[in-house]
Structures are given as structure tokens and as C-alpha cells.
Copies of this chain bind each other. A is one copy, B any other.
């Protein structure tokens, strides 16, 4: 959410710099007030979160428990230390949290995640972003347009969720004009020094550079919030990556009357997918053992960068090369686009 909230300010900052070709002239300086930029992000965040909390609070008191829940067995939950619930069935909808690769922990308190950006009172001068995914590209471009020096790195050589080589090259080219986007940079050293993050890396031109940053922003994916649910008290299985084993079609975990929906199952972290899943998980939990299969929408992914990037359907990398035909259309010179 922070990246979407942040975008309006840099869009405005960017557009006021490019009005001259249209005959619109700004006779004076354009000043970006970082504190005001961040204050608006806070206030919008509070407004959005307030609305969600309000909806939760509107559930009648006799129908809800407030407190951390954990499993005693598959269908018995302890709520804090004050209640025990015997359930017909359970839906896990605990959302997800940021995943941080251990290698980045070297940056100590200079290491931040997406949510921490909310706590910034002003814009930093220089940031490094790890993970050129949806959030990394959005935040990278947004801060760059607000005058922050941004370098986006990765260790996996991927850009966004994009895997089509032609699109990846175009994205690197277009976004790379505004900020340093170098997903395949070789990083030689990462350390904390004098309260700054220091990264030694090989530049695009082959030279070795030492970059110093106020913050390192980890946009390196999400993980399911199930660590504190005491899953070891249940029959539910974790796979070798520590992820709950469930059926993506019915959202059921193993053969238990337990279902997992939304970001917590880490399938597609999108609002409309979470809504579909929440509805079906609730339906299946209520009617258990009568379980239905969730009709899935075509997968989509959108990067709210400029230019915007959208992906619909299966990923390029998941295709058998011999089974696909590729068609490309360039709208650069399309007058009506």
C-alpha cells in the first residue's frame, strides 16, 4: 500500500517538469517538501487503515474475539489467555509480512521494509532498493522522481514478475532512464559503516563503485503470517520451505476442516484474489465437509510505474518454448496511444 499512496506526489513532481512542450510555462522554482510528501502518505494510510478497522469493529461483539489466536488442535483455538473456541471449521486469513533475505540483515537499523517507509518524517537523500518486483520498481521510481538518489539491486536478475526477455529489456531501458536499475549487478561487499549502508558493486560500465545509502529498502517478497499460530499442535503439514500445505483449488489445508485465504496462502497477493478466496474459504468452512472448487480468474500483475506494466495470464518462464508463439506490438509511434 505505501507504494501506491506514495505515487501521486512523484507523478505531480514529474509532470510539472514536462509542461513546456505543451505551451505551459512555470516561471519559478519547483520545490518538493519531503515532510509534506510523507505527511500526506501517513494521513492517507491512517484513513485507509481506519476504514478497515471500522469494518472489523462493526462485526457484532458476540460474534468476534479480540486477541491473538493459536491452535490447540485442528479445531480448537486459544484466544489470548482468556478464551477457548471449539470450531466447526477454521479459516486462516492472517495475511503476509515482508520476507527479508538473511544477507541483508548486515545493514542493521538502516534496513527497512515497505511498511517502515510510513514512519519516515522526511525524504532520505540516498536509498538502495533490493528486489525489482512490483513494489521495488514502484517505490524506486517514486523516490527518484521526488529527488532521492535511488539504486535498485537484485541478486536474482529478475525484473518485477516479468520473465519475458524482450519486456525485461524494455523495462530496464525505460525505467533505467530515471533511476539506477541494475538487477544483475555483482555485489562485492555489504556493510554498515558510520550509520550508513555501504554497498560495493560493479557498475553498468564495469567499474567497481562504493555506494553509501541512508537506507536499504528490502522489497524482497512476502511470507505467510503463520509462525505464531502453533501449527505444531495440528495435523497440518508444512513443506520443506516452511509453507503450509494446502489445495489451491479448495483452499483446504490437508484433510482438516481448516482453510487458508488471502495473502496468508501466498498464491497471488492481490485484493480481488483475496476477496475471491475469502468468500470461497468462508463458504467451504461453513459447508464443510461439502467443499467446492474456487473458479480462478486469469492471473494478472500490474506495476504502477510510468510507463505502467501489466501482465495477464501465465508467465513467459512457465511456458514450454516449443508450445508458444510470440507476437510483439510497439505503440511508441501510435498517435492515439
Contact = CB atoms under 8 A, between A and B. Distances in A.
B23 A35 contact: yes
Contacts of A15: 12, 15-16
A4 interface: yes
Given A12-B15, A15-B16, A23 B40 contact: yes
A21 B11 CA distance: 13
A135 to B, nearest CB: 15
A282 to B, nearest CB: 22
A27 interface: yes
A82 interface: no
A169 to B, nearest CB: 27
Contacts of A27: 28-31
A310 interface: no
Given A47-B335, A48-B335, A336-B4, A36 B23 contact: yes
Interface string A18-34: 11011111111111111
A24 B9 contact: yes
A28 B31 CA distance: 11
Q: How large is the interface on A (under 10, 10 to 19, 20 to 34, 35 or more residues)?
A: 35 or more
A22 B37 CA distance: 6
A88 interface: no
Given A28-B28, A31-B27, A13 B19 contact: yes
29 contacts: A8-B22, A9-B24, A12-B18, A12-B19, A12-B24, A13-B22, A16-B19, A16-B24, A16-B26, A21-B40, A23-B34, A23-B39, A23-B40, A24-B30, A24-B32, A25-B30, A25-B31, A25-B33, A26-B26, A26-B28, A26-B30, A26-B31, A27-B28, A27-B29, A27-B30, A28-B28, A44-B335, A47-B335, A51-B335
